[in-house]
Amino acid sequence: MSGGTGADDYDYIIRIIQYLDQRHGIHFFISSRDFDILYRWWEKRIPEPVIREALDRVVERSRLREKPLERFSVFSNEVRRAHLSLLTLDIGRQRSETADEYFEIKNFIAQFPPPLEFMKADFADFFEKVMRGEAPDAVPLQERLLAGFRDDGELNAKTAWFLKNISPAMRKPEIERKYRLNYLAGRFAIPVLD
C-alpha cells in the first residue's frame, strides 16, 4: 500500500466491501492483503460499476462451481480484465450526451426518505448550495445524520460485523465513521456528500 489513505479511498473501499455483502451476502475477514488489493483498485481509479460487474461475474462462476469466496484476490484477474476492456473501449470515444449532473440530487429530494424527515431542511439547503456551484461543508450534515442513527440496531449490528471482519490495524474511528456514512447513504440513496 503506497502513501496515506484518506476519505475518498476509504469510501471507495468500504462501498466495494458493502456491495459484496449486500448484493451477494458474501463477507469474510478483510486482511491487510485484501485492503491492499482494494486500495490498488482505487489508485488506478477503476470505476465502481466496472468492479461491481466483475464481482458479479466471479460470484456467479463460484456459485456454479460451489466454491466459496474467501478473499479479494480471487476477484483481481476479472477486475483487471474488465478495467482493461473499459480502457480499450473508451479510447477516442466522444461523449455527446449531456446528462443532468444533478439528477441524483433532484430525485433524492423529490422522493425524500421518511426516516430522514428530521433532516429534510438540512439536506435541501445543502444540495441547493451544491447545485448553485458552491462547496458547502458536509461535516455538520454528516454528524447530524450519524447522531440521528446512533441507536439504530441494524446500522450498529452491520458496523460491528464490519469492524470484526477487518484487520485490527484498520479498526480506526475514521474507518468506522466512513462505514456508517456509506451504509446510510446506500440505505437511503443519499447522493454523495463530499
Structure-block grid coordinates of residue 158 = 452491520
Amino acid at 59: V
Angle between helices 173-188 and 153-164 (to 10 degrees): 130
For residues 118 and 171, membership in a common domain is answered with yes
pLDDT in tens, 37-59: 898 898 888 899 999 999 999 99
Q: Is residue 109 part of a domain?
A: yes
Residue 44: left if φ>0, alpha if ψ -120 to 50, beta else—which one?
alpha
CB 26 within 8 A of CB 20: yes
pLDDT in tens, 61-113: 888 888 888 888 888 888 888 887 777 665 444 444 445 778 888 888 999 99
For residues 78 and 153, membership in a common domain is answered with no
pLDDT at 144: 97
pTM of the predicted structure, to 2 decimals? 0.62
Burial (Cβ within 10 Å: 0-12, 13-18, ≥19) of residue 20: buried
Q: Can you give the residue range of the structural domain that contains 66?
A: 7-88
For residues 112 and 156, membership in a common domain is answered with yes
For residues 77 and 154, membership in a common domain is answered with no
